[in-house]
Amino acid sequence: MSYVDRIIEDITKKNSDQPEFLQAAKEVLESLRVVVDADSIYEDNAVLERLVEPERIIQFRVPWIDDKGNVQVNRGYRVEFNSAIGPYKGGLRFHPSVNLSILKFLGFEQIFKNSLTGLPIGGGKGGSDFDPKGKSDREVMKFCQSFMTELSRHIGPDTDVPAGDIGVGGREIGYMFGQYKRLRNEFSGILTGKGLDWGGSLARTEATGYGLVYLVEEHLNQHDDSFKDKTVAISGSGNVAIFAAQKVYQFGGKPVTMTDSNGYIYDPNGIDLDAIKDIKLVQRARLTEYAAGHPGSTYTPTGEGKPWDLKVDIALPCATQNELDLNDAKNLLANGVKIVGEGANMPSTQEAADFLLENGVTFFPGKAANAGGVGTSALEMSQNSERLSWTFEEVDTKLRTIMQTIYNNIAQAAKDYGQEGNYILGANIAGFKKVAGAMLDQGIV
Ligand code: GLU
């Protein structure tokens, strides 16, 4: 049995209750066959066995008191997956679906994504099954303080630096940072995505969405093309989706959809981003609000259709894992889509990604395409270390260079292994090589 097959068999046995983790791990392992079969150093040093096993998983109780005075208990986690190339780095997700499978898949992806940024950050992820939806600011604060009371023992600017993810934005980072500072009597860069007046970086909020569009634009430019006059379907309506749409407009394209968990809006005139920002970021309301003020736009409830049913040139799934399945991939292809770029983490099922790739659609996996967020988090860490803050232009220019470099590296890796244009393979191999090299250098640990 080949090395990769043995590892796949082993993780399938050990993690049979973790489908998302197995999906993410198998995708990477499949890509690595060509690398590990060509050099026995990986098998001799059990690099893959070590890579698929988190260095540490912390699980803890998060008790808090709601506005009615009732005691609530949630589960908190931090998966510290791999620190070969830097302190664990990755977001915190607060969502009722959070469990160990989801966090291990996200932490695993983060190892390769962070490696691709070219910056010294290891892979980690954490979060809770807490649902911020419908909670008051006070309740969110109480929860965040309790969560950080335990998490504070495990993180540090040179150990593990969490950030935001689904359900964790500026408000939550603020409450957690305040609690850490109070507990430790220390003002340090233990989280990224901080407020601009207290250690945050300009352009961090925009970075994931902008970065996604920079990477796709780089690909288009290298093929004598651009976003100009392209119609773009985007899912999600959080930071990633909003700032991806903003950058698409800046490059002359037209984003026509956005989604939340209840449904999607289609605006053939182009999404009105000021309205979206107001609904989602200020009112914290639902997208149903949009249609009323925008004649010509339509709202389709979840279950009755998806943005992937529409005729678009480019699709940017920016909501959540497995939101684009084989059927959606077929619809996109039938409608002539040319590029799919993942703004979320693993938004396409394995079957959807394979189908798109096999049918000539250019496909950028999340670990490359959405790396601008964590890349800019690493820039925030640099600014915190030197106690300086860089201008928006400075950070944005660095972000664009990071995304261009990622594009070139994944394209080159795919070419080197005889699969030009297979950016899934390219991203997995380019991300792996650096981490594996570091693991080999550092011995069996
Ligand atoms: N949650 C984001 C991601 O999936 C950002 C992580 C970070 O900035 O550390 O990469």
Mutate to test the pocket of ligand 1, among 106, 159, 165 (most ligand atoms within 8 A of CB): 165
Ligand 1: distance of its center to the CA of 165 in Å?
6
Average pLDDT, integer, range 57-76: 98
Please give the pLDDT value at position 105.
Answer: 98
Mutate to test the pocket of ligand 1, among 377, 381, 403 (most ligand atoms within 8 A of CB): 377
Q: Using CA positions, which residue lies closest to atom 9 of ligand 1? A: 90
Please give the pLDDT value at position 284.
Answer: 82
Is 90 exceeded by the pLDDT of residue 420? yes
Percentage with pLDDT > 70 across the chain: 100
Ligand 1: distance of its center to the CA of 383 in Å?
17
Q: Using CA positions, which residue lies closest to atom 10 of ligand 1? A: 374
Ligand 1: distance of its center to the CA of 71 in Å?
31
Please give the pLDDT value at position 336.
Answer: 98
Q: Select from 3.40.50.2300, 3.40.50.720, 3.40.1160.10, 3.90.1170.40 the CATH code of 205-364.
A: 3.40.50.720
Average pLDDT, integer, range 387-401: 98
Tens-digit pLDDT profile for residues 337-369: 999 999 999 999 999 999 999 999 999 999 999
Ligand 1: nearest atom to the Cα of 376 = 8
Tens-digit pLDDT profile for residues 137-161: 999 999 999 999 999 999 999 999 9
Ligand 1: nearest atom to the Cα of 93 = 1
Domains 3-190 and 205-364 fall in the same CATH topology: yes
Ligand 1: distance of its center to the CA of 269 in Å?
32
Tens-digit pLDDT profile for residues 425-440: 999 999 999 999 999 9
Ligand 1: distance of its center to the CA of 318 in Å?
13
Ligand 1: nearest atom to the Cα of 106 = 4
Please give the pLDDT value at position 329.
Answer: 98
Please give the pLDDT value at position 281.
Answer: 83
The residue extents of the domains of the chain are 3-190, 205-364
- The residues carrying an active-site annotation are 125
Q: What pTM did the predictor assign?
A: 0.97
Q: In what order do the strands lie in the sheet with 160-163?
A: 56-65, 71-82, 122-128, 88-94, 160-163
Q: Using CA positions, which residue lies closest to atom 8 of ligand 1? A: 374
Mean pLDDT of the chain: 97
Sequence-distant (6+) residues with CB within 8 A of 39 are: none
Fold exhibited by the domain 3-190: Rossmann fold (3.40.50)
Please give the pLDDT value at position 406.
Answer: 98
Closest CA to 341 of 360, 317, 358: 317
Ligand 1: nearest atom to the Cα of 204 = 8
Is 90 exceeded by the pLDDT of residue 76? yes
Average pLDDT, integer, range 84-91: 98
Phi and psi of 339, rounded to 5°?
-135, 135
Ligand 1: nearest atom to the Cα of 161 = 9
Please give the pLDDT value at position 37.
Answer: 98
Ligand 1: distance of its center to the CA of 15 in Å?
24
Is 90 exceeded by the pLDDT of residue 292? no
As for ligand 1, residues whose beta carbon falls within 6 Å of it are: 89-91, 163, 165, 192, 345, 373-374, 377
